[in-house]
Amino acid sequence: MWFKLLIFAIAGVALYRFFGGKVPFLDTEEKELKEEHDDFGKIEATSSCVVCGTYVTEEDALIYKKRTYCSTECLEKEK
């Protein structure tokens, strides 16, 4: 009796997942992968280097005296 119930429960969960249902304790990997790819395609603010004109993201840029530089080499050239 319990064995039949277990088989029907497993078959029910399998059908539910087959038709797109999400089971929280089984689908944690998909959620983690989705969170990783959420940043893809976002537009980041960029600035051009004062010395060489290379565009760099504001996160990677070096800002010294309100001027943007792409690397320490360009910063040293300007001084």
Show the CA angle centred on residue 39, arms to residues 32 and 55, nearest 5°. 150
Mean of pLDDT over the chain: 80
Residue type, 19: F
What is the span of the domain harbouring residue 58?
46-78
Phi/psi of residue 46, nearest 5 degrees: -125, 155
| Residue 33 shares a structural domain with residue 53 | no
Same domain, 52 and 32: no
Same domain, 51 and 31: no
By three-state DSSP, how is residue 57 classified? Answer: strand
Render pLDDT for 20-31 as a digit per residue (tens, 0 to 9).
776 666 656 555
What integer pLDDT is reported at residue 15 of this predicted model? Answer: 77
Strand partners, 63: 68
pLDDT for 27 equals 59
d(CA 25, CA 18) in angstroms, rounded, equals: 16
Q: What percent of the chain lies above the pLDDT cut of 70?
A: 73
- For residues 54 and 31, membership in a common domain is answered with no
Per-residue model confidence (pLDDT) at position 8:
85
Same domain flag for 28 and 55 = no
> Do 68 and 53 share a structural domain?
yes
Least confident of 33-42, 46-55, 64-73: 33-42
